[in-house]
Chain A
């Protein structure tokens, strides 16, 4: 469902993501763990483009959310002037197929493509590929709910308006339908009596539960959780995690960045270890926690478990 292809993210001279690729299928519960500053949150935020990856592509089903990254498409590289020039120069040194592959590899490695000088054919190909697959980012985000570490409830709206504002504004449902759905969801998380209060009056755990049902109002196909319990008092962690677990049991696709290892063990279908902007290990939870391979992961687990 989500396909992240070789994304890099640079903040100035700081490389936060260094080539992350990951496919998330429908129904999967992917939990991402790792040390702080390892790129977990940035990776999650790249999925719904709250951060734009510097290179690489993000696909949702068969639609691309980022611009086309020419390096990921051999046919686009082959249309470039750089490729054609190199091909002419080296012609005859090997058979055509290996030569092509070698040149493509070299171009990728040395970052030789220069948008401006690659000619009309190259540009046309990128344009066509993008036009064929692109989707309005706002439409795509409707399908991807997001829950933040700091809840980010709209402070100028009461709980009910927080929930119904986006679905009504985006014409997903009528006001009556939205209110009905909101009531059902509030009941589910045990906060019906809070519908008319403002976020400032709620506890952290209550805020996060509202934030989760606010995301659910849009009927998303996947929910991205960015450290949903990290800003909570310890006694409130449980109530939020149980809501997330319920959602997982219902078959919601989710990607969760968290420090809660027990949650990962219980809920995940796959656990990813990220460090230094890369996926260092990726395995089902049983294997991940009992039989880790990567030395950095072993060290990490020995500290947190």
Chain B
């Protein structure tokens, strides 16, 4: 038992002291973070556009955009992420030498956008209609009312759910190994197969801690943001 413990600790120490292993982890970490951040930004932009289109009042010019956005969320939410990634990598961008990282960012961004759009839409709808009416009745344009009155209030409901979506996104990127990319999860797999570790136990535990740390940091940021947004609720 004691022997097992000490061997476990030895191996953990080895991961954090071996320069080569650290370099591997750094490369994987960078990949994971770049894909997540890029996809989150793309998803946010897509999500905002789609949400706006979906809440816009029905009119002739909006029929086609509304239909497109409806199909987009249905397809993206109705098919597995891994499959979407394959389609992007091996069908849409099956171009020799096309940077894989861009493929991954686009694939995850498009996926995230569908979920984020629903969060944003729910946030905007959660604001009482009376707020819009009061703004319009004062003579404000609908865009002025939306951005100065509705959106700031919608943020309160949007931040936690969009934040959740980002957290899910980071963990979801662990499947990029399936198209031959090299992220944190892949690092654990490679280490596990190496002669020295020869087991999944230590590498997966350590890499899991990395994911946990990232997610925990983001959770903290979301909480901080939430607290600031709730300032106007104080009694």
Contact = CB atoms under 8 A, between A and B. Distances in A.
B3 interface: no
B137 A155 contact: no
Interface residues of B, number: 21
A165 to B, nearest CB: 7
B38 interface: no
Interface of B: 128, 130-131, 133-141, 144, 148-149, 152-153, 232-235
20 contacts: A138-B139, A139-B139, A140-B139, A141-B138, A141-B139, A142-B139, A144-B137, A150-B128, A152-B134, A154-B134, A154-B149, A155-B153, A156-B149, A157-B149, A169-B140, A169-B144, A170-B138, A201-B234, A211-B134, A215-B138
Given A200-B233, A201-B235, A152 B133 contact: yes
Contact of A170 (B134, B136, B137, B139): B139
Contacts, number: 73
Given A138-B140, A144-B137, A152-B130, 17 more contacts: A50-B137, A141-B136, A141-B138, A141-B139, A142-B139, A148-B133, A154-B134, A154-B135, A154-B149, A156-B152, A166-B135, A166-B139, A169-B148, A198-B233, A200-B232, A200-B234, A214-B138
A201 B232 CA distance: 9
Given A148-B130, A154-B134, A218 B232 contact: no
A211 B133 CA distance: 13
A173 B52 CA distance: 31
A142 B131 CA distance: 17
A50 B133 contact: yes
B133 A165 contact: no
A144 B152 CA distance: 26
Given A198-B232, A198-B234, A200-B235, A154 B137 contact: no
A136 to B, nearest CB: 9
A11 to B, nearest CB: 15
Q: 3 closest Cβ contacts across the A-B interface?
A: A152-B134, A142-B139, A152-B130
A153 interface: yes
A198 B235 CA distance: 8
Contact of B134 (A153, A156, A198): A153
A90 B135 CA distance: 53
A152 B149 CA distance: 11
B95 to A, nearest CB: 47
Nearest to A215: B138
A48 interface: yes
Contacts of A139: 139
